[in-house]
Amino acid sequence: MAGLSPSQSFGSSTGLQSDSTAPPPDAQAPAEQPKYFFREKYAKLGVKGNFMPLAAQPINIGLADWLAHQTVENYRLVSSIVACIQETDQGTGKPICNPESCPKMTAGSYIWLDNNRRPVAVSASQYISLVQRWLNAKVHDPKAFPTDAPGTTSTTYASGSVTTPASETPIAAGPTNLNAPLSQLAGKDWIGRDAGFPESFYNDCRTCFRQMFRIYAHIYHSHWIDPFWNLSSSSTSQGWTDLNSCFVHFCTVAKLYGLLTEKDVEPMQPLIDLWIANGSIPPAAANEESKIKPPQ
Protein backbone atom coordinates (compact mmCIF):
# COMPACT_ATOMS: atom_id res chain seq x y z
CA MET A 1 0.00 0.00 0.00
CA ALA A 2 1.33 3.39 -0.93
CA GLY A 3 1.78 5.96 1.78
CA LEU A 4 1.27 9.65 1.67
CA SER A 5 3.39 11.07 -1.07
CA PRO A 6 5.73 13.87 -0.03
CA SER A 7 3.70 16.38 -2.00
CA GLN A 8 0.56 15.40 -0.17
CA SER A 9 1.84 15.05 3.31
CA PHE A 10 3.89 16.66 5.99
CA GLY A 11 7.15 15.44 4.54
CA SER A 12 9.49 15.10 7.44
CA SER A 13 11.11 12.05 8.83
CA THR A 14 11.66 13.80 12.13
CA GLY A 15 10.25 11.60 14.80
CA LEU A 16 9.44 8.79 12.42
CA GLN A 17 12.88 7.23 12.49
CA SER A 18 13.15 7.26 16.23
CA ASP A 19 9.66 5.86 16.60
CA SER A 20 10.06 3.15 14.01
CA THR A 21 12.03 1.17 16.57
CA ALA A 22 9.43 1.49 19.29
CA PRO A 23 7.42 -1.63 19.99
CA PRO A 24 4.08 -1.70 18.21
CA PRO A 25 1.08 -0.76 20.31
CA ASP A 26 -0.38 -3.58 22.32
CA ALA A 27 -3.77 -4.28 20.78
CA GLN A 28 -4.80 -5.93 24.05
CA ALA A 29 -4.01 -2.94 26.23
CA PRO A 30 -5.93 -2.88 29.50
CA ALA A 31 -9.21 -1.04 29.32
CA GLU A 32 -8.03 1.64 31.74
CA GLN A 33 -5.17 2.65 29.40
CA PRO A 34 -6.02 5.64 27.22
CA LYS A 35 -6.17 4.97 23.50
CA TYR A 36 -2.73 5.06 21.90
CA PHE A 37 -3.35 8.36 20.19
CA PHE A 38 -4.35 9.93 23.50
CA ARG A 39 -0.96 9.22 25.05
CA GLU A 40 1.86 11.72 25.28
CA LYS A 41 4.17 9.24 23.58
CA TYR A 42 2.04 9.23 20.45
CA ALA A 43 1.20 12.93 20.43
CA LYS A 44 4.40 13.77 18.57
CA LEU A 45 4.41 15.61 15.27
CA GLY A 46 6.14 14.83 12.00
CA VAL A 47 6.98 18.49 11.63
CA LYS A 48 8.56 20.61 14.33
CA GLY A 49 8.03 24.31 14.64
CA ASN A 50 5.42 26.91 15.34
CA PHE A 51 2.11 26.39 13.59
CA MET A 52 0.98 29.94 14.31
CA PRO A 53 2.47 31.57 11.17
CA LEU A 54 0.51 29.06 9.11
CA ALA A 55 -2.74 29.80 10.90
CA ALA A 56 -2.71 33.51 11.70
CA GLN A 57 -4.28 35.94 9.29
CA PRO A 58 -1.63 37.98 7.46
CA ILE A 59 -2.14 41.70 7.89
CA ASN A 60 -2.71 42.37 4.18
CA ILE A 61 -5.36 39.68 3.66
CA GLY A 62 -9.00 40.03 4.57
CA LEU A 63 -10.47 37.75 7.19
CA ALA A 64 -12.95 36.07 4.85
CA ASP A 65 -10.30 35.50 2.21
CA TRP A 66 -8.08 33.98 4.87
CA LEU A 67 -10.83 31.72 6.20
CA ALA A 68 -11.62 30.59 2.65
CA HIS A 69 -7.94 29.85 2.09
CA GLN A 70 -7.70 27.90 5.35
CA THR A 71 -10.84 25.91 4.56
CA VAL A 72 -9.53 24.93 1.13
CA GLU A 73 -6.05 24.17 2.50
CA ASN A 74 -7.36 22.00 5.33
CA TYR A 75 -9.64 20.21 2.89
CA ARG A 76 -6.58 19.44 0.76
CA LEU A 77 -4.74 18.06 3.79
CA VAL A 78 -7.62 15.93 5.07
CA SER A 79 -8.07 14.58 1.54
CA SER A 80 -4.46 13.37 1.55
CA ILE A 81 -5.13 11.61 4.87
CA VAL A 82 -8.39 10.10 3.62
CA ALA A 83 -6.58 8.72 0.58
CA CYS A 84 -4.65 6.45 2.97
CA ILE A 85 -7.82 4.71 4.19
CA GLN A 86 -9.28 4.58 0.70
CA GLU A 87 -6.27 2.63 -0.56
CA THR A 88 -6.99 -0.96 -1.49
CA ASP A 89 -5.66 -3.40 1.08
CA GLN A 90 -3.62 -5.97 -0.80
CA GLY A 91 -4.76 -8.68 1.58
CA THR A 92 -8.50 -8.14 1.29
CA GLY A 93 -8.78 -6.42 -2.08
CA LYS A 94 -10.98 -3.80 -0.43
CA PRO A 95 -10.34 -0.28 0.75
CA ILE A 96 -9.05 -0.16 4.33
CA CYS A 97 -12.20 1.73 5.36
CA ASN A 98 -15.13 -0.14 3.85
CA PRO A 99 -18.75 -0.88 4.77
CA GLU A 100 -17.78 -4.16 6.46
CA SER A 101 -14.90 -2.77 8.53
CA CYS A 102 -16.77 0.40 9.48
CA PRO A 103 -20.53 -0.15 9.04
CA LYS A 104 -21.27 3.06 10.96
CA MET A 105 -19.78 6.53 11.04
CA THR A 106 -18.29 6.47 14.50
CA ALA A 107 -15.33 7.69 16.51
CA GLY A 108 -15.00 5.13 19.26
CA SER A 109 -18.24 5.31 21.21
CA TYR A 110 -19.27 8.52 19.45
CA ILE A 111 -21.93 8.09 16.79
CA TRP A 112 -23.11 11.08 14.84
CA LEU A 113 -26.81 11.65 14.35
CA ASP A 114 -28.74 12.79 11.33
CA ASN A 115 -31.28 15.61 11.30
CA ASN A 116 -33.85 13.27 12.80
CA ARG A 117 -31.56 12.47 15.74
CA ARG A 118 -30.96 8.97 14.42
CA PRO A 119 -27.49 7.52 13.77
CA VAL A 120 -26.49 8.35 10.21
CA ALA A 121 -27.68 5.52 8.04
CA VAL A 122 -24.58 5.07 5.90
CA SER A 123 -21.24 3.40 6.58
CA ALA A 124 -18.18 5.46 7.48
CA SER A 125 -16.71 5.11 3.98
CA GLN A 126 -19.97 6.25 2.37
CA TYR A 127 -20.28 9.12 4.85
CA ILE A 128 -16.74 10.26 4.17
CA SER A 129 -17.29 10.08 0.40
CA LEU A 130 -20.47 12.11 0.73
CA VAL A 131 -18.68 14.69 2.87
CA GLN A 132 -15.84 14.88 0.35
CA ARG A 133 -18.31 15.43 -2.48
CA TRP A 134 -20.14 18.08 -0.45
CA LEU A 135 -16.93 19.86 0.57
CA ASN A 136 -15.61 19.77 -2.96
CA ALA A 137 -18.81 21.32 -4.29
CA LYS A 138 -18.82 23.91 -1.49
CA VAL A 139 -15.26 25.14 -1.92
CA HIS A 140 -15.70 25.30 -5.70
CA ASP A 141 -19.05 27.11 -5.52
CA PRO A 142 -18.27 30.70 -6.50
CA LYS A 143 -21.39 31.87 -4.65
CA ALA A 144 -20.34 30.26 -1.36
CA PHE A 145 -16.59 30.80 -1.73
CA PRO A 146 -16.13 33.76 -4.09
CA THR A 147 -12.39 33.54 -4.07
CA ASP A 148 -12.15 36.03 -6.91
CA ALA A 149 -14.01 38.55 -4.82
CA PRO A 150 -13.55 42.29 -5.35
CA GLY A 151 -10.28 43.45 -3.94
CA THR A 152 -8.76 40.00 -4.08
CA THR A 153 -5.79 39.85 -6.33
CA SER A 154 -4.80 36.29 -5.64
CA THR A 155 -6.09 33.28 -3.81
CA THR A 156 -2.64 31.85 -3.33
CA TYR A 157 -0.99 33.18 -0.25
CA ALA A 158 2.67 33.09 0.59
CA SER A 159 1.96 31.53 3.93
CA GLY A 160 4.29 28.67 3.31
CA SER A 161 3.03 25.21 4.00
CA VAL A 162 3.45 22.78 6.79
CA THR A 163 6.24 21.21 4.79
CA THR A 164 8.07 24.49 4.53
CA PRO A 165 11.10 24.61 6.81
CA ALA A 166 10.55 27.16 9.52
CA SER A 167 13.43 29.30 8.32
CA GLU A 168 11.74 29.73 4.94
CA THR A 169 8.24 30.30 6.23
CA PRO A 170 7.20 33.91 5.76
CA ILE A 171 6.32 35.41 9.08
CA ALA A 172 2.68 36.30 9.08
CA ALA A 173 1.47 39.31 10.94
CA GLY A 174 -0.58 38.66 14.01
CA PRO A 175 -4.31 38.21 13.84
CA THR A 176 -5.99 41.42 12.84
CA ASN A 177 -9.68 40.84 13.31
CA LEU A 178 -9.44 42.09 16.87
CA ASN A 179 -8.92 45.50 15.32
CA ALA A 180 -11.89 45.22 12.99
CA PRO A 181 -14.50 47.91 13.47
CA LEU A 182 -17.34 46.79 15.67
CA SER A 183 -19.77 47.76 12.93
CA GLN A 184 -18.40 44.90 10.89
CA LEU A 185 -19.61 42.44 13.49
CA ALA A 186 -22.99 44.01 14.06
CA GLY A 187 -26.27 44.61 12.36
CA LYS A 188 -26.50 43.43 8.80
CA ASP A 189 -22.78 43.29 8.37
CA TRP A 190 -21.14 39.93 8.21
CA ILE A 191 -17.72 38.46 7.79
CA GLY A 192 -16.61 39.01 4.22
CA ARG A 193 -19.51 41.20 3.15
CA ASP A 194 -17.27 43.90 1.71
CA ALA A 195 -15.27 41.29 -0.19
CA GLY A 196 -18.36 39.76 -1.78
CA PHE A 197 -18.83 36.75 0.49
CA PRO A 198 -22.41 35.67 1.29
CA GLU A 199 -23.96 36.13 4.71
CA SER A 200 -23.75 32.37 5.29
CA PHE A 201 -19.99 32.26 4.64
CA TYR A 202 -18.71 31.99 8.21
CA ASN A 203 -21.28 29.36 9.11
CA ASP A 204 -20.39 27.48 5.93
CA CYS A 205 -16.75 27.47 7.09
CA ARG A 206 -17.84 26.10 10.48
CA THR A 207 -19.85 23.36 8.78
CA CYS A 208 -16.86 22.47 6.62
CA PHE A 209 -14.62 22.24 9.70
CA ARG A 210 -17.19 20.20 11.64
CA GLN A 211 -17.38 17.65 8.83
CA MET A 212 -13.61 17.53 8.41
CA PHE A 213 -13.27 17.03 12.15
CA ARG A 214 -15.56 13.99 12.01
CA ILE A 215 -13.35 12.47 9.33
CA TYR A 216 -10.25 12.98 11.48
CA ALA A 217 -12.02 11.55 14.54
CA HIS A 218 -13.09 8.43 12.65
CA ILE A 219 -9.58 7.98 11.30
CA TYR A 220 -7.97 8.24 14.74
CA HIS A 221 -10.45 5.94 16.44
CA SER A 222 -10.72 3.31 13.70
CA HIS A 223 -7.59 3.51 11.56
CA TRP A 224 -4.74 4.74 13.73
CA ILE A 225 -2.96 1.40 13.73
CA ASP A 226 -3.89 0.36 10.20
CA PRO A 227 -2.71 2.12 8.17
CA PHE A 228 -0.99 4.93 10.09
CA TRP A 229 1.02 3.04 12.68
CA ASN A 230 1.98 0.46 10.08
CA LEU A 231 3.07 3.17 7.63
CA SER A 232 5.36 4.63 10.28
CA SER A 233 7.33 1.39 10.34
CA SER A 234 8.33 1.94 6.74
CA SER A 235 11.20 4.32 6.13
CA THR A 236 9.62 5.49 2.87
CA SER A 237 6.15 6.26 4.13
CA GLN A 238 4.64 8.80 6.43
CA GLY A 239 2.50 7.66 9.28
CA TRP A 240 0.92 8.72 12.52
CA THR A 241 3.22 11.67 13.17
CA ASP A 242 2.10 13.13 9.84
CA LEU A 243 -1.51 12.47 10.71
CA ASN A 244 -0.81 14.39 13.94
CA SER A 245 0.78 17.27 12.01
CA CYS A 246 -2.23 17.65 9.73
CA PHE A 247 -4.63 17.46 12.64
CA VAL A 248 -2.73 19.86 14.91
CA HIS A 249 -2.71 22.45 12.12
CA PHE A 250 -6.43 21.87 11.62
CA CYS A 251 -7.09 22.26 15.37
CA THR A 252 -4.95 25.41 15.57
CA VAL A 253 -6.95 27.10 12.80
CA ALA A 254 -10.27 25.89 14.24
CA LYS A 255 -9.42 27.20 17.72
CA LEU A 256 -8.03 30.49 16.47
CA TYR A 257 -11.19 31.33 14.55
CA GLY A 258 -13.83 29.60 16.66
CA LEU A 259 -14.73 27.14 13.90
CA LEU A 260 -15.54 24.22 16.22
CA THR A 261 -17.43 24.10 19.50
CA GLU A 262 -16.32 22.22 22.60
CA LYS A 263 -19.02 19.67 21.90
CA ASP A 264 -17.81 19.22 18.31
CA VAL A 265 -14.32 18.23 19.44
CA GLU A 266 -15.31 15.95 22.33
CA PRO A 267 -14.20 12.69 20.63
CA MET A 268 -10.64 14.02 20.33
CA GLN A 269 -10.47 16.27 23.41
CA PRO A 270 -7.73 14.30 25.25
CA LEU A 271 -5.31 14.72 22.33
CA ILE A 272 -6.19 18.38 21.92
CA ASP A 273 -5.57 18.87 25.64
CA LEU A 274 -2.16 17.20 25.32
CA TRP A 275 -1.23 19.51 22.45
CA ILE A 276 -2.38 22.59 24.33
CA ALA A 277 -0.35 21.49 27.37
CA ASN A 278 2.85 20.85 25.39
CA GLY A 279 2.46 23.94 23.18
CA SER A 280 1.94 22.11 19.88
CA ILE A 281 -1.27 24.10 19.62
CA PRO A 282 0.21 27.59 20.15
CA PRO A 283 -1.01 29.44 23.26
CA ALA A 284 -2.52 32.23 21.15
CA ALA A 285 -4.77 29.69 19.42
CA ALA A 286 -5.44 27.71 22.60
CA ASN A 287 -6.61 30.91 24.27
CA GLU A 288 -8.80 31.62 21.26
CA GLU A 289 -7.40 35.13 21.02
CA SER A 290 -8.88 35.63 17.57
CA LYS A 291 -12.08 33.74 18.15
CA ILE A 292 -14.76 35.30 16.00
CA LYS A 293 -18.00 36.22 17.58
CA PRO A 294 -20.56 36.23 14.78
CA PRO A 295 -23.35 38.81 14.85
CA GLN A 296 -26.33 37.66 16.89
Can you say which residues are annotated as belonging to the binding site for Zn(2+)? 97, 102, 218, 223
Question: Is the Cβ of residue 124 or residue 208 nearer to Zn ion in the bound state?
Answer: 124
Minimum CB separation of residue 256 from Zn ion in Å reads: 29
Minimum CB separation of residue 67 from Zn ion in Å reads: 29
Question: Is the Cβ of residue 102 or residue 285 nearer to Zn ion in the bound state?
Answer: 102
User: What is the rounded distance in angstroms from the CA atom of residue 204 to the CA atom of residue 207?
Assistant: 5
Question: Is the Cβ of residue 101 or residue 232 nearer to Zn ion in the bound state?
Answer: 101
Question: Is the Cβ of residue 145 or residue 224 nearer to Zn ion in the bound state?
Answer: 224
Residue type, 240: W
Minimum CB separation of residue 233 from Zn ion in Å reads: 20
Number of DSSP helices (H) and strands (E) in the chain, helices first: 9, 2
Minimum CB separation of residue 3 from Zn ion in Å reads: 18
CA distances from 134 to 48, 142, 204, 252 (A): 32, 14, 11, 23
Interface positions with Zn ion (CB under 5 A): 97, 102, 124, 222
Give 140-147's long-range contacts (Cβ < 8 A, gap of 24+): 143/198, 144/198, 144/200, 144/201, 144/204, 145/68, 145/71, 145/72, 145/197, 145/201, 145/204, 146/195, 146/196, 146/197, 146/198, 147/65, 147/68, 147/72
* CA 271, chain centre distance (Å): 13
Question: Is the Cβ of residue 47 or residue 84 nearer to Zn ion in the bound state?
Answer: 84
Question: Is the Cβ of residue 108 or residue 170 nearer to Zn ion in the bound state?
Answer: 108
Contact status, residue 38 vs residue 237, Cβ threshold 8 Å: no
Binding residues: 97, 102, 218, 223
Measured in Å, how far apart are the chain's first and last C-alpha atoms? 49
Minimum CB separation of residue 160 from Zn ion in Å reads: 32
Minimum CB separation of residue 89 from Zn ion in Å reads: 12
Contacts with 238 (C-beta within 8 Å, 6 or more apart), sequence order: 3, 4, 9, 10, 11, 16, 46, 231, 232
